[in-house]
Amino acid sequence: MKPFDYYSKPQTFYPHKKDYTTFYVYDKGACIAEEKSGSGTGSITKSHLNQKYPNAVIQEVLDKEAYEAHRKEYDAESAKLHQEFVKDLFEEFGVCNNPKSIRCFELAWEHGHSSGYGEVYNYFGDFVELIRDT
């Protein structure tokens, strides 16, 4: 079984809307600035631009298609890692072909997922004895 961090940290970074937001600054009908929001310490905000351009109109535009595509990529990778964890967990405890293994996992997930994969592993280890053939 891989380290628990492997399953909880996709290679694709979590998408934030601010990474897909562009601000357009208008003064007297003309666009005088275009700035990407971005993330990090130097990220641009609407209030920052209002201070920098007090008499201008600030338009905030989200690239919804790019954001949603990134979100789908992140979700797909997270789901793949979750399925890999379940598969590895069943192999670790030798219950791949047990028809009750999925229900056992569901109970372990219900009890432990808020504390991470390590806790789910611990609960599964406790519960798996109930479904093993003797």
76 and 114 in one domain? Answer: yes
Q: Give the pLDDT confidence score for residue 124 in this predicted structure.
A: 97
81 and 54 in one domain? Answer: no
pLDDT at 8 over 70: yes
Mean of per-residue pLDDT scores for the chain: 93
59 and 32 in one domain? Answer: yes
Give the total number of structural domains in the chain. 2
Secondary structure element (H or E) that encloses residue 66, with its range = helix 64-93
Q: Is residue 11 part of a domain?
A: no
pLDDT at 27 over 70: yes
Q: Give the pLDDT confidence score for residue 45 in this predicted structure.
A: 87
Secondary structure element (H or E) that encloses residue 58, with its range = strand 57-62
- pLDDT tens by residue, 100-109: 999 999 999 9
122 and 71 in one domain? Answer: yes
Which pLDDT band holds residue 98 (cuts at 50, 70, 90)? very high
- pLDDT tens by residue, 54-88: 999 999 999 999 999 999 999 999 999 999 999 99
Strands (E), 1-134: 21-27, 30-36, 57-62
Q: Residue 121: give the domain boundaries.
A: 67-130
